[in-house]
Structures are given as C-alpha cells and as structure tokens.
C-alpha cells in the first residue's frame, strides 16, 4: 500500500515539476523574440535564464533548512502560486527590469518544492523504488519539453512571445489545484536536525558529487540554454520549426530518462560515466556533420537522447553519497544544478558573443571533462574510506 501511495505522490510531483520547468526553461524557446522586443543581444537576454538559476543556487539550501519544520503541502502550494503569479504578470510585457524581477521571484522556492516532492515520494520505500519514483518526478523535465515548452514556443511564433507566459500560467494553475486536493497534509517525514543535515558537507564523497552535478548541468546548458537561437542561426530553422524540434528533443529526453532510470538501479557508476561522456560526444557529432536541416533534425534527436538523463543521474549520484539527509541533499542538487545552469549559459553567452554560436557545444565539452574528473576523484575517495574502515576494524579485532 505504501508503494502505491508513493507512486501516486511521485506522479503529483512530476506534474508539479512540469509546471515549474515550463516556467524556468520555457523562455529558451522564445529567447530570440524577447531579445528582439527589448532590443537586447542574445547573451543579455540570456540573463532571464541565468538569473533565475543563480537565485536558486544561492538561496535553495538555506530556505530548505528554514522551512524544514513547516507543513510540506503548504510550502508546495505557496511555491506554485508564486509561479502562477509571475507568469500572469509577465504576460503583459513589463519593462525588462521588471520582467527579470518577476522571473526570479518564484525561483526562491523552486528547490524546496522539488526536494519536498522527492522526499514525499521516497518516504519509507526501498532504494530501487526510490530511484524509480525519483525517475518519475524528474520525468517532468522532458515531459515539459514535449508538451508545454514546444506548445508555447509554437503558439508564440505566430501570436507573440508573451503567449508563452500565458501557457505556463495555465499549467501552474492546474498544478495548484492538483496539489491542494491530492497531496496529503505534511507528507514528508523529518529526517534529522539541521546540524545533522549540514553534517553531510563534511563528507568528501558528497562534495565531489556536488562538483559532478554542477559540471554536468553546466555542460548541457552551455548549448541547451541557447537552443532556439542555435537552431535558427546554424541550421536556419524558422520559429515554428523550432517549436516542433523542441517537441522532438523532449520525446528523446523522455526515452533517455526512462532508460537511465533502469540502468541506474543496475549499475549507477557505469551509467553516470556514460551520461557524462555524452557531453563530449555531442559537439563531435555536430562538428562532423553537414550544416543542413536534415542533419539538424538528427542532431536534435541525438541532443535530446544524450541530455535527457542528466538530471536523474546527477540526483541519484548525489543521493548515494548522503542517504542520511535526502531532503537537504536534493536541495543542494537543485541549487548547484541551477548554479551550473547559470554558469553554463553565462560562459557560453560570452563565447557566443565573441566567437559565434557554433562554440557553445564546445564550452559544454569543457565542463563535461570536469564532470568526469569529479567522478574519478569521488571513486578514489570512496575506496580510501573503505580501506580506512577496514583497517580500523582489523585493529579492533586484534586488540
């Protein structure tokens, strides 16, 4: 019975994540139009994505600890309400400064929402069920990329970029009703005190897991953050065609996320390495092919397939190093992942402005190499810890 309840909560969390991701990443599909409307360069318009991510990175862990004793359902309802309000006002095309402020307001509670959703679906279940439920929740990311994000991009191509905000507001409203009527009051079991949760920051294996999470997300968002502009500048796709390509990208992401969820239960380390290698494969695949629309479509399919598992992989890799404080671990994953989004889009924006759009996947490859190094160092740290424990046990048995 508990397993069935946890699965239901996972699907609620998945739909909640669809609403949140529609707001966070929906701007990607209309970024060129926003830049044109406000007479900005594409790298300056990219602040709408990087600023959102930066707020999450800087405030997420602190707000998670601050709200840890509050009713989880109320916090999730408040978070969704902020997203709804932000999108409704943004629909009216306020000045860019206000648009930026409206973008970052709901960002404060985004990691808290995601962490609480995962904690609710992972309560009192075994490790494999937890990975499955986490995969369902994280599946909200590619699901949004299949439904709301391409839909908003397609409609905005003919009716104006602000329509994307209206689509996002509708989704947030539906999620708000679902949370209120389906999510039970305070479904999250409190794991540990604040000091005990912070204690995971002393673990080298966890710190290197954070590092991996940051570099992996930064790698993918170096290119994905400028998805629409990349396709339109390099392969000459139209605005409406970009909407359909976002749909293809999301479909491939759903397939890849489902596959990775299964692989992670069998061999987490091998799956993590494979996902990280994808950041190196993608720019090579792009560079070797011709610059035409057919290869552009194929590139988007490969792009989505390689990108899709990054979130579930980063989350699982971090959770495995902090089983005693899952909620805090989830929040740190979201925060450092969004710090990666901010860093990836910012650095890629600088290189794009200086060297052209074609450079963004190679910026991702640099971050990807750093992610692979983080995996290697964590594995070494784990082996040293195991040897140390074995030595201590041997000494105790001798004495």
Q: What is the DSSP letter of 1?
A: -
Q: Under a CB-based contact definition with an 8 Å cutoff, are residues 65 and 118 in contact?
A: no
The DSSP string of 125-138 is: --HHHHHHHHHHHH
Instruction: Name the CATH architecture for the domain at 2-185+193-386.
Output: Up-down Bundle (1.20)
pLDDT digits (tens, 9 = 90+) for 16-54: 888 888 887 778 778 888 888 888 887 788 788 778 878
Residue ranges per structural domain of the chain: 2-185+193-386
pLDDT for the residue 329: 73
Whether 399 has a pLDDT exceeding 60, the answer reads: no
pLDDT for the residue 241: 84
pLDDT for the residue 108: 85
356 burial via Cβ count (<10 Å: 0-12, 13-18, 19+): exposed
Contacts of 305 (CB under 8 A, 6+ apart): 252, 253, 255, 256
Lookup result for tokens 């000494």: 395
0.85 exceeded by the pTM?
no
pLDDT for the residue 394: 44
Total Cβ atoms within 10 A of residue 30: 29
Provide the token pair at 315.
Answer: 């989350």
pLDDT digits (tens, 9 = 90+) for 345-388: 889 888 988 888 888 899 999 999 999 999 999 988 888 765 55
Provide the token pair at 292.
Answer: 């035409």
Residue 269 has, within 13 A of its CA and on its CB side, a CA count of 9
pLDDT band at 4 (very low <50, low <70, confident <90, very high): low
Percent of the chain with pLDDT over 90: 13
Provide the token pair at 172.
Answer: 């947030």
pLDDT digits (tens, 9 = 90+) for 172-211: 888 888 777 777 766 555 555 566 667 777 788 888 889 9
Number of helical H runs and strand E runs in the chain: 19, 0
pLDDT, the chain, mean: 81
Lookup result for tokens 């990329």: 145
């Amino acid at each position: 019975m508990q397993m069935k309840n946890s699965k239901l909560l996972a699907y609620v969390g998945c739909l909640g994540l669809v609403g949140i991701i529609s707001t966070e990443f929906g701007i990607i599909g209309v970024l060129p139009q926003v830049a044109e409307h406000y007479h900005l360069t594409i790298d300056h318009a990219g602040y709408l994505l990087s600023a959102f991510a930066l707020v999450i990175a800087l405030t997420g862990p602190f707000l998670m600890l601050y709200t840890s004793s509050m009713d989880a359902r109320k916090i999730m309802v408040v978070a969704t309400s902020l997203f709804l309000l932000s999108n409704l006002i943004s629909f009216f095309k306020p000045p860019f400064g206000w648009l930026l402020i409206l973008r970052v307001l709901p960002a404060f509670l985004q990691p808290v929402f995601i962490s609480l959703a995962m904690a609710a679906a992972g309560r009192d279940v075994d490790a494999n069920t937890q990975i499955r439920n986490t995969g369902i929740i994280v599946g909200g990311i590619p699901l949004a990329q299949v439904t709301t994000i391409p839909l908003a991009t397609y409609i905005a191509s003919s009716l104006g970029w602000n329509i994307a905000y209206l689509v996002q507001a509708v989704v947030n409203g539906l999620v708000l009703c679902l949370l209120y009527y389906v999510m039970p009051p305070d479904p999250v079991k409190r794991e540990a005190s604040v000091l005990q949760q912070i204690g995971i920051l002393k673990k080298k294996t966890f710190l290197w897991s954070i590092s991996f999470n940051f570099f992996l997300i930064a790698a993918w968002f170096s290119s994905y953050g400028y998805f629409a502009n990349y396709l339109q500048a390099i392969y000459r796709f139209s605005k409406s065609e970009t909407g359909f390509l976002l749909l293809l990208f999301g479909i491939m992401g759903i397939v890849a996320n489902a596959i990775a969820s299964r692989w992670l239960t069998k061999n987490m380390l091998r799956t993590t390495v494979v996902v990280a290698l994808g950041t190196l494969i993608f720019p090579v695949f792009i560079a070797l092919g011709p610059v035409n629309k057919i290869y552009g479509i194929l590139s988007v399919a490969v792009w989505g397939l390689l990108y899709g598992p990054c979130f579930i992989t980063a989350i699982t890799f971090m959770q495995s190093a902090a089983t005693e404080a899952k909620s805090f671990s989830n929040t740190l994953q979201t925060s450092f992942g969004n710090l990666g989004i901010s860093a990836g889009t910012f650095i890629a924006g600088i290189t794009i402005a200086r060297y052209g759009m074609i450079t963004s996947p190679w910026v991702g490859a640099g971050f990807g190499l750093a992610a692979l190094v983080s995996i290697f160092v964590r594995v070494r740290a784990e082996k040293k810890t195991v040897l140390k424990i074995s030595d201590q046990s041997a000494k105790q048995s001798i004495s």
